Structure formats: C-alpha cells, structure tokens
Amino acid sequence: MYRKLTTKRERGKKQRILQKIETCGRTDLDDFWRLSGIKENYNNTHTPFLVFYEDEGKIKMDILKKAEQLLGYPDSTKVMQQWSGKWSSDFFQFTVGDYRNFIEDPVSYYGEEEVAKLKTAKDVCITYGPRGNCRGMEYKVKLSFQDSYCGVHSSGGKEDERLVEFFKSEGIPIKEVHERK
C-alpha cells in the first residue's frame, strides 16, 4: 500500500510534502528465499516482482519478471512479490538490499549444510567453449556420511559464476579448459 506524493501551495510557493512508500506483506524472508524459487531466476509471469520507487516527485511502480532485474535499483527500493504456496498465497515485502545480501552471502544462499559440502570440493574444472563462453563446471564434493567423493556437474550460467567466486574465496584451485573448434 502506498500514498500519493502531494503538493501544497503556501503563500504562492509550491511546497513538497514527502511521504514514504509503505508496503504490507510478510517479512519472514527465510521461508521466501528457500521456497519461492528466487535463486533459479525464473521468468515469473504469474507472480512478478512489484518495485515501488520515487521518480521526479511521483511514486512509480515497475513490474519485473526476473529477480536479477532487481539489482538495477538502489538498495532501499521496496519490493513485493506474491508467493503461490500449495495451500495459500502470501505477499512478501523486502528491499533490493535484502535481496542483494541474500545472493551475496553463501550461507544464506546455499544453506549451512551445502556450504560445508562445497568447502570440501576438489578437482574443480571449468570448460569454456571456442568463443569463450562457459560450457559447464565439474567438481567433486565429500559426502558427509562416508569418506568418499561424489562428482557434480553444472551446465554453465550465473550459478557457475557464483560457485567460481565461492571456490576462489575459499582458496580451492580451479582448472580451466578451453575447447577449440
């Protein structure tokens, strides 16, 4: 919910009365991040992101279909999205800064158990195509219940970039393979 930005004439001068944008919705974002599919960056045509901001003295709203598009707005920008649950639908409210913190923090993005598993990665290999695009990544992670390793393969994209940043921050060596035509 939001209020209009109003102007008021006082002694022949226009004076702006600033009002802040207020949104109503659930704020328990842990469930939202985990269940909404926001990590997969799907094209949300049925439940788009509603972005509220002030521009040239007017309150505006943009409708975005991908979570990645939120990163083009300032951190204080208010966002709402409907989550279609199995039994009921809820609206969640957050800011672009909340989303940015979520995707930049490995523990909140992957979860503690997955981060512990990723820290055991070895034999990390990224394959690049002839044009320099990432074709995929392979690595092995240690299974928690035994002393063996399990191979993991990903097919390129933003998730691989995020994993490369994580592996570099943990000091895990990465081998690069460049394919030729």
Q: What CA–CA distances, in Å, run from 42 to 31, 67, 74?
A: 17, 8, 22
38: DSSP letter: G
Q: Is the pLDDT of residue 107 over 80?
A: no
| pLDDT tens readout for residues 8-65 | 555 555 555 556 777 778 888 877 877 777 776 677 778 889 999 888 878 888 999 9
pTM comes to 0.64
What is the extent of the structural domain holding 144? Answer: 112-178
pLDDT of residue 3: 47
Structural domain count, the chain:
2
Q: What CA–CA distances, in Å, run from 71 to 16, 37, 85, 102, 142?
A: 29, 17, 25, 12, 34
Q: Are residues 94 and 120 in the same domain?
A: no
Q: Is the pLDDT of residue 160 over 60?
A: yes
Q: Is the pLDDT of residue 174 over 50?
A: yes
Which of 141, 31, 14 has its CA nearest to residue 83?
A: 31
Tokens at 10, concatenated: 């006082």
Contacts of 9 (CB under 8 A, 6+ apart): 15
Mean pLDDT computed over every residue of the chain:
78
Q: Are residues 35 and 99 in the same domain?
A: yes
Q: Are residues 90 and 53 in the same domain?
A: yes
Question: Residue 66: which pLDDT band, with cuts at 50, 70 and 90?
Answer: confident
